[in-house]
A and B are shown apart, each in its own frame.
Chain A
Amino acid sequence: MAVTAGPAERAAEAPPKTRPPGSRRKPLRHRLRRDWPLVVLTVPAMVQLAVFFYTPSAYSVIAFMDYSPYRPLWENPIIGFTHFQILFEDPYFVDALFNTLQFAFAQLIFVFPISIGLALLMQSIVSTKLRSVFQSIVYLPYFFSWVLVVTVFNQVLGQDGLFSRWLLGMGGERLDIMRDPDTFMFLAWMQWTWKDAGWGMIIFLAALASINPALYEAAAVDGANRWRRLWHITLPGIRPVIVLLLILQLGGILSVGFEQYQLQREMVGWGTSEVLDTFVYYRTILASNGESLGTAAGLFKGIIGLLLILAANHIAHRFGEQGIYQKS
């Protein structure tokens, strides 16, 4: 069975690297005259980015300053990497970094595949009605705030929750999962899955819809069973989307969220739930470490994210995938 072209065929189909005669780049003013409506359409987005993203990002420079909000920005003395030094010497930063990585990899390993699994499951449901009910149930929690998610979990798994009451009724003990630091990872995993897996599923469903049904028919005619079709058609078909989402997740690996951990911090303790975002909030904004240290931590996160995106994208290219962008 040959459902995809081999490297040799694809190499033969690849466009020539030299430009065809007459395709020389036109001068800027010509291109502007031709494309100005498109440029105008991008203006609002550019302004929004400039005002709400690039301008605040420029203030990252305070990570290298002895910053005080009571003097103009330019009067703050530059002190180099002192705040980074303080940050890396802080054992609580190291703990927060470790927790963050732990949660990030757990999300990557245990939640990401669930979205793929849900999408495949959904695709296998023949009844349209059943499919739309299932879809709604699964992705509705994505629109709930973390406050609501934690409250719902507390109502179900808390000391006075449904399960506790049921267990007490059966003569058992109260359930203590909401306050047990040893099982917090499992609790967090349940919360991520309930809240986010359904949303991830939507994206994979869209990718599944783009696979040519003729391929499945041809494979079925060739005698491929359900697993063979999954392995040789479905998974290769959604591979670019898997890689794209994986790269994006890697880029935000140090941004595992804030509310979920902040809301449960007092229940399981800071040692278990402190991640980089809560570290910045509690140790720099609320504590007396100041804005510079928080900015240094934020910048560190950004740089790691950027490097991971570059690396993952590069690896994706090497494996023949598009990644999130390509050099023109």
Chain B
Amino acid sequence: MATPSGRSPVRRRSLFKAAGLGTAGAAGLPLMSACGEVSGGDGNVQEVDQTLDILPEYKEWPLPIEPDLVGEPPNHPSGYLQYPNPPAQAITNTPSNSGSYQVYVPNWGPTPEKDDPYFLAMQEATGGTKIEFVQSDGEAFNQASGQWIQAQEFGDAIFMFGWMANSQANFNETVVNRFADISGLVSGDISERWPLLAGRGDAAWADSVWSTDPENPQETAGIYGVPWELSGGPGNGFFYRADLMREANLEPPTTVEELLEIARTWSDHQAGRWAIGGTDYMSRAWFRLEQSGWLWDGSGLVNNNERPEFKEWVTFQRTLTDEQLRHPNVGTPDFDGKTLQRTGEILFDQDGWNRWWQITEMVRASGEDPDFELHPVGALTYEDREPMYHAASGVGAWLFFRKDLGEDAIAELLDVSNYVAAPYGTKEFETVFFGFEGEQFEYDADGRPAFTEAGVTSFQDSLTYTAMGGRTQYLLEGPPDIMQARFEFDEQILPYLDSNPFQGLRLTSPEAGTNAGTVFDEKVNDIIYGRAELSELDSAIETWKADGGDEAREFYEKAYKQLHGE
């Protein structure tokens, strides 16, 4: 044991000496330099120009079989009531390739084994190209992908949804610095090698263009990704269990007030029954809040956050919490709306359109509940206002290639993208979405592919080859009754679809605006889930404005005025 000192245990001089040494050591030379400005973060505007010379020459790829339900694509897609059996062969000259690649994809479904027979069959069908899909949970993928891309550790290609790209800082800078410019390969007439990619259309390809110099966007433009689906029509659905509603003598709601009444009648917190599941992105339209976040009021842009309708929306959300009408796991990673709706623990839940037909088919296949019936709720209104439904628009995702991948390798992967671009009603579509007969699916009595157990457990809803690109045309999918119902729903909702005030532009918000928005959203979540009081909303709005909201407004207003000539 050391000898105790008679001096004071804490000597100020020694402490200051240690503090000084520590600080100097850590700071080093930069201590000597003055504070400078942090560059970047000003936001970016990319024009989606369908007249650019670099775009592939459009050559229509006509559907081999005329659909039974003919809509007005993209907002009112067509569909087949009867599955086109046998499906048409879209690709007659199968390429001969032998490369081996890794593609990073997000995934919310099952994760097939690397050596799943499906991959081997697809390798053969697409011309010999071996692709290993590195799958990660969608949320984890969204959070980690930015670091993978910056570190250039994403295999040979990566699939990114638009909402993932939007959540990343300066994604436009990332694209031109980390991904390959494929203009040299896909510009001009590509119909001989990639007829289906040539049939994707100018709108899809123009939405895959980024410019290296924002000051000179036309001259420095390049195509940096293979566009995924060109979306249209109602973006998502708010689904309800029609069978359980009937059982409880309840009518589907047409207004927010009716929805609340149904929820009050049906929910029983003590019994573990909550009418409402996820509502966050679907319910904003019920209060006429803008999907883009900004509304032109005739003289300038007003953000959703500042509008009285936003306070009404927050109050509605808070009511769901206070009156215990919403499943308590909503807003946490533990919430599994699909399962809860399937088991009847919740009545209503929001999701993409696949929820409707996929969950119905699964329940029908298992025979667990013969009465199971799912339907989407229409455009709900609040206080008798005009209905509004948020529409999907533009390209939903992209497949990006590694910058140094090399033209031959990219061309080989484009062969696969060409295969995947085959629409519903083709053999290629069947292999990509249903697998192979006798393995992942069998034809049912109506001649439609129905997943086998192997298909359900290792394939259905898994994002693998579907990530390699979009199709020439989006057509409705599902069993005939659901297809018919969806077609009618789309027709009925068409007049209420909103329009994007920034249509024709791809905007990256200024950093300050994005950061202030994130902080504001967290505060709003606190209010919604009962961790903060509603009275705190006004001060949160003021903070948002000061911390970056007003800067974002300036940026968006400038873009809006340029676009609309205001």
Indicate whether B484 reaches chain A with its CB closer than 8 angstroms: no
Tell me the bound Cα distance from A69 to B9 in angstroms.
47
Which B residues lie within 8 Å of A303 (CB)?
22-23, 26
Whether A302 and B526, one on each chain, are in contact in the complex, defined by CB atoms closer than 8 angstroms, is no
* Assembly CA distance A77 to B39 (angstroms): 10
A101 at the interface (CB under 8 A from B): no
The count of chain A contact residues (Cβ–Cβ below 8 Å) is 62
**In-complex Cβ contact of B38 among A61, A79, A282 (8 A):** A79
| Alpha-carbon distance between A317 and B147 when the two chains are bound, in angstroms | 44
Interchain CA distance A258-B11 in the complex, whole Å: 35
Q: Is B15 an interface residue (CB 8 A)?
A: yes
Known: A81-B35, A85-B35, A287-B514. A315 touches B26 (CB 8 A): no
Give the CA-CA distance A70 to B15 in the complex, in Å. Answer: 41
* 6 intermolecular pairs with C-beta atoms under 8 Å apart: A79-B35, A80-B36, A82-B35, A269-B532, A271-B522, A287-B518
Residue of B whose beta carbon sits closest to that of A76: B39
Closest to B514 in A: A288
Q: Residue A27 at the B interface, CB < 8 A?
A: no
Q: What is the size, in residues, of chain B's interface with A at 8 Å between Cβ atoms?
A: 62
For residue B564, CB closer than 8 A to chain A, the reply is no
A73 in contact (CB, < 8 A): no
Q: Are B30 and A322 in contact (CB under 8 A)?
A: no
Q: Count A/B pairs, Cβ under 8 Å.
A: 148
Let me know if A307 and B19 touch, CB within 8 A: yes
Asked if B445 lies at the interface with its beta carbon under 8 angstroms from chain A, I say no
Residues of chain B within 8 A of A290, CB atoms compared: 38, 169
Interface bits A1-21 vs B (CB < 8 Å: 1, else 0): 000000100110010000000
Selected interface stretch from B67-75, B327-335, B424-432, B454-462: B327-335
> B531: which of A64, A271, A310 is its contact (CB, 8 Å)?
A271
CB pair B38–A86 under 8 Å, yes or no, is yes
A318 within 8 A of B: yes
Q: Convert A157-194 into 0s and 1s, putting 1 for each residue whose CB lies closer than 8 angstroms to a CB of B.
A: 00110000000100001100001010000000000000
Ranked 6 nearest A-B pairs via Cβ: A288-B169, A79-B36, A318-B9, A320-B4, A64-B30, A310-B18
Q: Which of A11, A83, A266 has the most CB of B within 10 A?
A: A266
Closest approach, in angstroms, between the C-beta of A150 and any C-beta of chain B? 10
Shortest distance in angstroms between B509's beta carbon and chain A's nearest beta carbon?
9
> Roughly how many angstroms separate A77 CA and B331 CA in the complex, as a whole number?
41
* Nearest CB of A to B513, in Å: 9
Question: Does A231 make an interface contact (CB < 8 A)?
Answer: no
A318-B10 contact in complex given A79-B37, A307-B19, A311-B15, C-beta closer than 8 Å: yes
Given contacts A174-B269, A289-B515, is CB(A320)–CB(B3) below 8 Å? yes
- B: residues with CB less than 8 A from A are 1-5, 7-11, 14-15, 18-19, 22-23, 26-28, 30-31, 33-41, 143, 146-147, 150-151, 167-170, 173, 177-178, 269-270, 272, 328-329, 331-334, 511, 514-515, 518-519, 522, 525-526, 529, 531-532
Given A78-B33, A311-B18, A314-B15, does the pair A159, B328 have CB atoms closer than 8 Å?
A: yes
A66-B36, A285-B147, A292-B38 known; A307 vs B18 contact (CB < 8 Å): yes
Contact, CB under 8 Å: B529 / A168: no
The residue in chain B whose Cβ has the minimal distance to the Cβ of A13 is B3
Q: How far is the CB of B461 from chain A (nearest CB, A)?
A: 24
* CB-based contact A80/B33 at 8 Å: yes
**CB proximity to B under 8 Å, residues A7-43:** 7, 10-11, 14
Distance between B522 CB and nearest chain A CB, rounded to angstroms? 5
CB-contact partner of A267 in B8, B9, B35, B332, under 8 A: B332
A318–B3 CB distance below 8 A: no
Chain A's interface: helix, strand, loop or mixed, by majority?
helix
Bound Cα distance from A135 to B38, whole angstroms? 54
What 9 additional pairs, Cβ within 8 angstroms, besides A306-B22, A311-B10? A14-B3, A267-B332, A289-B169, A289-B511, A303-B23, A315-B10, A318-B5, A318-B8, A319-B4
Contacts of B3 in A (CB 8 A): 7, 10-11, 14, 320
Chain B residues within 8 Å of A168, by CB: 270
Q: B7: which A residues are within 8 A, CB to CB?
A: 318
Closest to B332 in A: A266
A260 within 8 A of B: no
A201 CB to closest chain B CB, in angstroms? 24
- Asked if A154 is an interface residue, CB under 8 A from chain B, the answer is yes
Residue in contact with A266 in the complex, picked from B2, B10, B331, CB distance below 8 Å: B331
Interface presence of A328 (CB below 8 A): no
Question: Nearest CB to that of A172 among chain B residues?
Answer: B270
Q: Whole-angstrom distance between the alpha carbons of A69 and B329 in the complex?
A: 38
Residues in A with CB closer than 8 Å to B27 are 64, 81
Q: In the complex the two chains form, is B9's CB within 8 Å of A319's CB? A: yes
In the bound complex, what is the Cα–Cα distance between A10 and B4 (angstroms)? 10
- List B contacts of A80 (CB < 8 A): 30-31, 33-36
Q: Contact at B2–A154, with CB atoms within 8 Å?
A: no
Nearest-neighbour CB distance to chain B for A164, whole angstroms, equals 9
The distance in angstroms between the C-alpha atoms of A318 and B2, with both chains bound, is: 9
Contacting A320 at CB < 8 Å: which of B2, B147, B511? B2
For residue A286, CB closer than 8 A to chain B, the reply is yes
Please name all residues of chain A whose beta carbon is closer than 8 Å to the beta carbon of B531 when the two chains form the complex.
181, 268-269, 271-272
Structural contact, B2 and A322, CB atoms closer than 8 A: yes
Given contacts A174-B270, A320-B4, contact A314 B515 (CB under 8 A): no
Residues of chain A contacted by B170 (CB below 8 angstroms):
288
How far, in angstroms, from A139 to B169 measured CA to CA in the complex? Answer: 43
Q: How far is the CB of A89 from chain B (nearest CB, A)?
A: 11
| B36 touches which of A82, A306, A321 (Cβ 8 Å) | A82
**A310: contacting residue among B9, B22, B33, B40, CB under 8 A:** B22
Report whether A83 and B38 are in contact in the complex, using a CB–CB cutoff of 8 Å: yes
Q: How far is the CA of A27 from the CA of B2 in the complex (A)?
A: 29
Q: Is A132 an interface residue (CB 8 A)?
A: no
B333 touches A266 (CB 8 A): yes
Choice from A82, A270, A283, A292 contacting B37 with Cβ under 8 Å? A82
Query: A321 touching B40 by the CB < 8 A rule?
Result: no
Cα distance, A326 to B3, chains bound together (Å): 12
How long is the Cα–Cα vector from A292 to B511 in the complex, in angstroms?
14
Closest A residue to B517 by CB, please name it: A287
Residues of A within 8 A of B529 (CB): 179, 269
Among A81, A85, A173, A283, which residue has its beta carbon within 8 angstroms of that of B30?
A81
How far does the Cβ of B8 sit from chain A's closest Cβ, in whole Å?
7
Q: Does A240 contact B (CB under 8 A)?
A: yes
